[in-house]
Chains A and B, each alone.
Chain A
């Protein structure tokens, strides 16, 4: 199985992947990226922060970006029709 490297890029710094993960194909790599984004954003949400200004670049071992997944692609967003932040 080919090895894929999942590098996270966001506003506060990058999380490079220097280990890699063996997966059957690019479609499995994209699924793992989506799954991982949902998992990380869920954890951040429990701390009261949702930051979707980030992406995962999936590379092969030669630093070619095979798939780029924006965090926003992992979600259907339903936001209220108002500009000001919601304050309970």
Chain B
């Protein structure tokens, strides 16, 4: 059940069998969530954290005029709100983009885990630090990159993150969101997003169609996006 989480963490450090068991014991109840459902509402009191087992989810914030910014995408193996363990409520909502499966880790069990397994505590801390690094890269995209470059960059990021958890085939991966939602990640309208995707397609870099991304030329796409995966902290260290 937590294989994807283990793949993500073991990419960055070693995890013993005992630690693996401790993680498994921390995750209880599993639940299937339909697409387009807000699973955590901004401001609500939290007593558990949510691990994404399967599917695609996002964090988002809305303006009063209805404009939405998706501030993060989450793939299988990501904790959606590990930061909620210390914050106790969130300043943003969390929504499923595709039908998803989640598992819950109560804050009570997480407290016990952190008290008994300091190394796992540091790895969970690492994963919230990684979330913050990804946020900084998105800020750079939103503030400074052109539309086509930020779309290309996001695709390179997802390709890298999904490859770690075994969800890339050849150079294709499922990205079950629509163009409006992709635009909400990029700060672009759906129409502008369509123009951006057309440019990437015509440059022979990548195609996004029917929820599938097909990368035609990975190196050229990374070069076009100015993608440097250092911010994803891919090396394994004793942390």
A interface residues (Cβ-Cβ under 8 A, vs B): 6, 8, 15, 17, 19, 21, 32-33, 35-36, 39-40, 43, 46-47, 56
Contact check, B146 vs A46: say whether CB atoms are below 8 A apart: yes
Residues B159-180 near A (CB distance < 8 A): 178-180
Contacts of B146 in A (CB 8 A): 43, 46-47
Contacts of A17 in B (CB 8 A): 191, 194
Contact check, B178 vs A36: say whether CB atoms are below 8 A apart: no
A27 to chain B, nearest CB (A): 14
Q: Give bound CA distance, A8 to B199, whole Å.
A: 13
Contact check, A35 vs B194: say whether CB atoms are below 8 A apart: no
B190 to chain A, nearest CB (A): 5
Interchain Cβ contacts within 8 Å, total number: 38
B interface residues (Cβ-Cβ under 8 A, vs A): 146-147, 178-180, 188-192, 194-195, 198
A1 to chain B, nearest CB (A): 12
Contacts of B191 in A (CB 8 A): 6, 8, 17, 32-33, 36, 40, 56
Contact check, A15 vs B147: say whether CB atoms are below 8 A apart: no
Q: Give bound CA distance, A40 to B194, whole Å.
A: 11
Name the residue of chain B whose CB is nearest to the CB of A56: B191
Most chain-B CB neighbours within 10 Å: which of A6, A15, A35?
A: A15
- Identify 18 new A-B residue pairs, CB closer than 8 A, beyond the known A21-B180, A21-B190, A46-B146: A6-B190, A6-B191, A8-B195, A15-B194, A17-B191, A17-B194, A19-B178, A19-B179, A19-B194, A21-B179, A32-B190, A32-B191, A33-B191, A36-B189, A39-B189, A40-B195, A43-B147, A56-B191
Contacts of B190 in A (CB 8 A): 6, 21, 32, 36
Contact check, A39 vs B188: say whether CB atoms are below 8 A apart: yes
B65 to chain A, nearest CB (A): 11
